[in-house]
Structure 1
Amino acid sequence: MEQLAFGLVAAVLLYSALRVVSEDNLVHTVLWLGVTLATTAAAYVLLHAPFLAAIQIILYTGGALTLMLFGVMLTQRVESVEVPNAAAGQGRAAIVVALLFGVIAAAVVKTPGLPSSPPVDVPVRALGRSFLTTHLLAFEVLSVLLLTAMVGAIVLARKADPAPAPTPKPAPKAHDAHGEAHP
C-alpha cells in the first residue's frame, strides 16, 4: 500500500513539475509550482519525516509561493515580447536530459544497497529551544527580513492615495443688527 501511495505521489510530482516548465501563463506556472511543493511535502510524509513536511508546507508552499504570486501580480506584464524560436533548443535539451538521466540511473543501479539507518528522533521542543537560545541571532535576523518583505509588499500593493479633496468651509452665519448669529 505504501508503494502505491509513493507511486501516486511521484506521478503527481512529476506531472506538476513538467507543467511548471511547460506552462505559458506565469500565474499558472506559479500555481503548478505550488502543487509540486505540496506534493514534495506529501513525499516527506511517506518517508516518515513529518517535521520536514511541515517545514516544506510553511516555508516553501506558503512563504515562497506567496512571494512569487506577489511578484507576478505586482509587476507589469509585457505582452509584446516574443521568443524568436522557442522550440529550436528543445531537441538538444531532450538529448542532454536523456543522457543525464541515463548516467544517474546507471549510478543508482550499480550502487550496492546500503543498510537503512534507524530514524533519528529529534524532539521538536529541543529544536525550538535551539532556535531561541543558540541560534537566536539568526532567528531574529530572519524574522526582521520577513517583516521587511511583508511591509514592502503592502507598500507596493497599496495604490497611491489621491490628493485629499479640500474640505468645504461652513457658510458664514448671518448676523442681525444686534450682533446675534442666525443660521
Structure 2
Amino acid sequence: MTLEAAGFWGVAVVLLASSLAVVLTPNLFHAVLFLAVSLVATGVVFLLLQSPFLFAVQLLLYAGGVVTIVVFAIMLTEQLVGGRIVQTSRYVLNGAVLAAGFFVAVAGFLIRSDAPAPGRAAPGDPTAEIGRALAGPYALPFELLGVLLVSALLGALYFARSDD
C-alpha cells in the first residue's frame, strides 16, 4: 500500500466517523464542530486528488464560511429561545436503511459503468476551466446564487433581531 493510499484511507475513516457524529450527536454545537471536521476532511480528499483549487475553495467557503454562519445561527436561535437546543434523531434506523440502499445503488452503477480506471490528472489547467465556466455559460446562475445567499442572510438578520 502506497503512502497516498494509506493517507486516503485515513482521511476516509475520519470523514466517515465525523459525518456519523454530525448526525448522531445530540448537542447541536458539537454537531457543527464535527461538520467542520467533515468538511476539512473532504477538502483533504480534493488535495489527494491533486486539485489544490478545490481544496482551497472547500476550506474557505465551506469549512470556514458555512460553519461560521451555522454557529452564529445556533447562537442567535438559542438566544431567542432562551435555552439549549438539543437535536433528536428519531429516524436513525430509517435513515440507515435509506443510506444503505443509496450506497448499494451507487456501487452497482459504478461497477456497471464503462468509466476508465483512474490514472493521471486530466490535461490542462482545471482552475482556468472552472473560471471560464463561471464567467461564461454559468455566470447568470452563479450571480443568482449570490443574490439568494445575500437575501437569506438578510432574512435571517430580520428574524433574529429583537423587537425592543
Q: TM-score, normalised to structure 2's length?
A: 0.67
User: Partners of 2:151 and 2:99 in 1: how far apart?
Assistant: 43
Please show how residues 116-155 of structure 1 align to structure 2 within 5 Å.
116=118, 118-120=120-122, 121-154=124-157
Say if 1:71 and 1:104 are closer, same or farther in 2 by CA, change over 3 A: same
Deviation string for 1:142-171 (max 9, x for gaps)?
3333333444455556656x6xxxxxxxxx
1:56 to 55, 58, 63: 58
What secondary structure sits across from 1:32 in the alignment? Answer: helix
Check conservation: 1:74, 1:157, Cα contact below 8 A: yes
User: Partners of 2:129 and 2:95 in 1: how far apart?
Assistant: 46
User: Partners of 2:9 and 2:104 in 1: how far apart?
Assistant: 22
The structure carrying a bigger helix percent of its residues is: 2
Q: How many residues align?
A: 157
Percent identical across equivalent pairs?
36
1:45 to 47, 52, 56: 47
Deviation string for 1:112-166 (max 9, x for gaps)?
9943354223442343244334433233323333333444455556656x6xxxx
**Whose Rg is larger?**
1
Deviation for aligned residue 1:2: 0.8
Q: TM-score, normalised to structure 1's length?
A: 0.62
1:33 to 20, 32, 35: 35
Say if 1:81 and 1:138 are closer, same or farther in 2 by CA, change over 3 A: closer
Number of the residue aligned with 2:75 = 73
Q: Which has the higher contact order (CA 8 A, sep 6+)?
A: 2
Deviation string for 1:82-119 (max 9, x for gaps)?
97x95xx65x5598379649946984896699433542
Say if 1:132 and 1:103 are closer, same or farther in 2 by CA, change over 3 A: closer
Check conservation: 2:27, 2:85, Cα contact below 8 A: no
Q: Which runs of 5+ in 1 are unaligned?
A: 163-183
Runs of 4+ in 1 over 6 A off after TM superposition: 80-83
- Name the amino acid aligned to 2:18: S
Q: RMSD across aligned C-alpha pairs, in angstroms? A: 4.0
User: Partners of 1:34 and 1:82 in 2: how far apart?
Assistant: 17
Q: Which runs of 5+ in 2 are unaligned?
A: none
User: Partners of 2:147 and 2:96 in 1: how far apart?
Assistant: 45
Check conservation: 2:39, 2:62, Cα contact below 8 A: yes
